Structure formats: structure tokens, C-alpha cells
Amino acid sequence: MLRTFWDGMRFAGITPLVRGLLLGMLGAFATSVVVIGVGRILVDRLAAGNAGFGVLFAAVSAGMALGAFVGPRVLRALNRRRLFALSVGVSGAALLLTGLIPNMVLAAVLASITGVGVGIAWVIGTGLLAREIEGDLRERTLAFLHTAARVLLLVSLTVAPLIAGLIGDHRLDVRDLGYDVLGAGAVLVLAGLTALLLAVLSYRQVDEGSEVSLFAELIAVLRGVPVGPEKEDERLPGTFIVLEGGEGAGKSTQARQLSIWLRDEGFEVVTTREPGSTKLGMRLRALLLDKDQTGMSPRAEALLYGADRADHVSQVILPALRRGAIVISDRYVDSTLAYQGAGRELSVGEIRRINEWATDELVPDLTVLLDVPPASGLARLGGTTDRIESESEDFHERVRAGFRRLAEGEPERYLVVDAQGAQEDITREIQRRVRPILPDPVPQDAEAITGMMPIIKE
């Protein structure tokens, strides 16, 4: 265990975000285990006995479960990085109050709030870590995190009660007022202050910076109003659909079938692909897929895909969406996250930020992931292969795993289809998912133009 701990320390500070996440997660976890560590002493001083300790333990556990499953959903409008740091601070503040107020009922309530903060911090923290780092580095970082958590648990169960005993219980009298200083309470106060300090440090590491303060953003979210000055988001009347998947998954076939069906339904359809759908894109495609380009670095590759995508969005996708067309793209941002992030083992978080800037944060209305084992997909290709297709099967396995993680992270935006099924069945499944998001094929101003109800032919 110690070897894993010290080995993981080398990777703990690879980026400010990872460093801040680890600090915050461990600080939050410490607040929950300290409650358990000195809980027995605390409830004895409060004359609550075994029943009181059971209530305290249940309050922390229930709070953690509630925070993990409900917290991020209730506060989904709040920036995830800010919510993470805020939850660490909440757990620390609640723990501090638990130590200051020697009352069993309030201790149970505050312990549950501590648990809520811990639950939110861990579920958001692990999600951000999974997005930020990939491959072996991610496994080592998570192993370090869990090892450090076990060390904290061991220290809290052994050292915290010892410190509480050394401090002892005292009574402060000021004229007619008296206050009981409990050794267990003092330990909780110290742990709470430490967690608050770690929350501040974590916030400085993970926050991306914003014109709106954390307090103002939190108040706006709780009131259900827009956060700060509303961004002038362009209302695009069109619909953006992307097909993703590994090599040989059948994206081109399904894009063609989908476009035929939509045109028959009366829609304007623009089918496109990445890379290579603009004049600049065609030159970049030639560079990216040329097998002779053996010396291209992974970072250069990712940036070239980003350049192609920026031009693609500006020249093809946005103009079509602005005039109300349905755009079907063979590959988009998620391909770069999977191929260059998971496949090349680059930072998914950094690639995501580059592409958000390149696309002005344009997100598809639906992403269809055609999932196929690399061995089966590559066998379908036949003939000559390009630079990406000729990569090792291990590379393509990492790409597939990357796609699946992306789909699991945003299930509301994804349709995952087994691409080994019959093409007709795949087409029908895609059509069923696409139909509900389609706009009205009759223009909204049709009645104003004609002065009568439009005739819709079945």
C-alpha cells in the first residue's frame, strides 16, 4: 500500500486541475472519517451512548449517499468545478460547527450535511479526473487516491481519538456564562478548519475563472435565474446530428441512409465529414491520413484536427444550421477526444478545451455511436489503409473504450448502437431516436406568408 502511495505522489500534481481535485477530495473524505474516529468519544460526552454513535454514523453515511446521487442533479446549473470546491468547503464548515456545538441532535444534522458535501465532492471529483487524464496515468492517479483515502481512514481511527484524549475536556466560565470545550469537539474544529483551507486551495487550482463570482453564481442557481449576463447564444433553427465510432463501424452507410430518409420527409439535409469538408480541410486531411507522415507528434495531430474542425464549423455546419437545415456529420469533436485523447493518451480535458474554443462550443443535438469491436471493424475495411486505420489493435481498443466513456458520461446526448447488427435494424433504431428531435418541416412563418393553414401531405 505504501509503495502505491509514494508511486502515486509523483503523478498527483501533473496539472493544477488534478492537484486541486486530489486536495479537495482527500480533504472532504477526511471530514467524514474524523467524525467516525472521534464519534464514540463525542457521543459519550453528550450522554448519547451506543445509540447516539449509531445515529451519527448513519447520518454521515446517508448524507454521503444523498450528496452523491442527488446533489449534482439539483445543482446541475452550477459550474462543476466550482460546485466541487464549494462542497468541500460545506463539509468543512459543517464539521467545524459540529465540534463547536455540543448538542447531539445538531451534531447528527451537521454530520449529515458533512456527508452531503463529501458525496458531492467525490462524485464530481472522480468524474473530472476521468475526463482530465487517460490510460495508465489515470489508473495510477486513482490508485493513489484510494490508497491515500485508506491512509486517512487509518489515521483518523487511531490518531484522532488519541489527540482528543490529550486535549481533554474543559469548561470555560465567563461571569454567568459557561462553555464546555470537549477534546473530541476540538479535533472536529481543527479538521473542519483544515478542510476549509483545502477548499480554498482547491478552488484556486480548479476554477477556470469567470466574470461572475462564486457567491453570485450560487445565488442565481438557487433562485433559478440565468447566471450573470446572458451569453448571446445564437438560436439555430437547424438540427445537428453526428455519427461516431471506430474504423469500419458503418458511419458512412448510416449517414447516407439517414440523409435519404430525412430528404424524403421534406427536410433540407447537409451531409459532411471530418476531416476534409472544406478546401483547407482537404489539405489537412491529406496530411493527417498520409501514412508517410510517420513523425507527426500526437499534439500536432490533435491541433490539426482542431484547425480542420474550426474551419468546418465556420464554413459548412453553422451556415447550414442557420438556414434551418439538418446537418449530418461523419465524426466531430468526440472523435478527437477518443482518438487523440484515449488513443494517443493525451489529456482529454485539454483537448476538450481546445475544441470548445475551435467550435465556439457548438454541441450536436444527437451523437450516434456505432459501437463495434476493432477486430471486426478493421476486417471490414479491406484494401489499403490510411495512417489512422493502420494503427495497432491496442490503439483502436483504447479508442473504443474512449468513445464508450464519453457516451456513459452524457447518455442524454448519445445513442449507442451495436454496429454488428443488421444494417436495416441499425437504420430503424437511428430513425426512432432522430424523429423526436426533428423540427417542423413546414416553416414557422408559412401561415403568415400564405394567409391560410398550410397543407401537409402525408
The secondary structure of 112-163 as a DSSP string is HHHHHHHHHHHHHHHHHHHHH--HHHHHHHHHHHHHHHHHHHHHHHHHHHHH
User: Is 453 inside any structural domain?
Assistant: no
pLDDT at 139: 75
User: Is 231 inside any structural domain?
Assistant: no
* Same-domain pairing of 146 and 206: yes
Q: Which long-range contacts (CB under 8 A, 24 or more apart) does 58-61 make?
A: 59/108, 59/109, 59/111, 59/112, 59/115, 60/32, 60/35, 60/36, 60/111, 60/112, 60/114, 60/115, 60/118, 61/115
Cβ distance 317 to 240 under 8 Å? yes
* Same-domain pairing of 213 and 243: no
Bridge-based pairing state of the strands 170-174 and 177-181? antiparallel
* Same-domain pairing of 181 and 311: no
Position 457 confidence tier, pLDDT thresholds 50, 70, 90 = very low
Return the SS3 of 273.
strand
Choosing from 223, 248, 266, the residue where a domain stops is 223
* Same-domain pairing of 46 and 127: yes
Q: How far apart, in whole angstroms, are the C-alpha atoms of residue 281 and residue 308?
A: 5
Phi, psi at 242, each rounded to 5°: -125, 140
* Same-domain pairing of 42 and 178: yes
pLDDT at 129: 80
Q: Which helix (H) or strand (E) holds 367?
A: strand 366-371
pLDDT at 178: 75
- Other C-beta atoms within 10 Å of 234: how many? 10
Q: Would the pTM of this model clear 0.85, i.e. be above it?
A: no
What is the arrangement of strands in the sheet containing 269-273, beginning at the earlier edge strand? 269-273, 326-330, 239-245, 366-371, 414-418
CATH of residue 206's domain is 1.20.1250.20
Q: Which residue numbers belong to the known binding site for ATP?
A: 245-252
Higher-pLDDT residue of 7, 127? 127
User: Is 172 inside any structural domain?
Assistant: yes
* Same-domain pairing of 376 and 288: yes
Choosing from 164, 199, 223, the residue where a domain stops is 223
Choosing from 198, 223, 248, the residue where a domain stops is 223
pLDDT at 370 over 80: yes
Q: What is the mean pLDDT of residues 61-71?
A: 89
* Same-domain pairing of 148 and 243: no
Residue 144 Cα distances to 7, 12, 223, 415, angstroms: 8, 8, 39, 34
Q: Which residue numbers belong to the known binding site?
A: 245-252
Residue 194 Cα distances to 6, 31, 34, 116, 373, angstroms: 22, 9, 12, 18, 48
| Bridge partners, 354 (sequence order) | none
Cβ distance 20 to 206 under 8 Å? yes
Q: How far apart, in whole angstroms, are the C-alpha atoms of residue 186 and residue 163?
A: 9
- Residue 114: burial class (beta carbons within 10 Å; 0-12, 13-18, 19+): buried
pLDDT at 18: 81
pLDDT at 233: 55
* Same-domain pairing of 136 and 255: no
Q: How far apart, in whole angstroms, are the C-alpha atoms of residue 302 and residue 295?
A: 14
* Same-domain pairing of 213 and 266: no
pLDDT at 447: 43
Share above pLDDT 70 across residues of the chain, in percent, rounded to a whole number: 88
pLDDT at 455: 40
pLDDT at 441: 59
Which residue segment(s) compose the domain that 31 sits in?
Answer: 2-223
Radius of gyration of the chain (CA): 27
Position 448 confidence tier, pLDDT thresholds 50, 70, 90 = very low
pLDDT at 75: 79
As a whole number, the mean pLDDT across the chain is 85
Q: What is the mean pLDDT of residues 110-136?
A: 85
pLDDT tens string 287-333: 999 888 778 899 999 999 999 999 999 999 999 999 999 999 999 99
Q: What is the mean pLDDT of residues 2-30?
A: 71
Residue 8 Cα distances to 11, 277, 438, angstroms: 5, 44, 48
* Alpha-carbon torsion (246, 248, 249, 250), positive or negative: positive
Q: What is the mean pLDDT of residues 52-79?
A: 87
pLDDT at 348: 87
Share above pLDDT 90 across residues of the chain, in percent, rounded to a whole number: 47
User: Is 230 inside any structural domain?
Assistant: no
* Same-domain pairing of 193 and 331: no
* Same-domain pairing of 252 and 206: no
Q: How many domains does the chain have?
A: 2
Q: How far apart, in whole angstroms, are the C-alpha atoms of residue 438 and residue 238?
A: 9
Position 134 confidence tier, pLDDT thresholds 50, 70, 90 = low
* Alpha-carbon torsion (62, 67, 68, 69), positive or negative: positive
CATH of residue 317's domain is 3.40.50.300
pLDDT at 84 over 70: yes
Q: How far apart, in whole angstroms, are the C-alpha atoms of residue 333 and residue 408?
A: 16
Q: Which helix (H) or strand (E) holds 330?
A: strand 326-330
pLDDT at 69 over 70: yes
pLDDT at 228 over 70: no
User: Is 228 inside any structural domain?
Assistant: no
Q: What is the mean pLDDT of residues 102-111?
A: 91
Position 452 confidence tier, pLDDT thresholds 50, 70, 90 = very low
pLDDT at 130: 75
Grid cell digits, residue 113: 450535511
Q: What is the mean pLDDT of residues 165-187?
A: 83
User: Is 281 inside any structural domain?
Assistant: yes
In Å, how far from its chain's centre is CA 163? 39
pLDDT at 11: 53
* Same-domain pairing of 271 and 219: no
pLDDT at 416 over 90: yes
pLDDT at 337 over 90: yes
User: Is 458 inside any structural domain?
Assistant: no
User: Is 234 inside any structural domain?
Assistant: no
Q: What is the mean pLDDT of residues 384-405?
A: 89
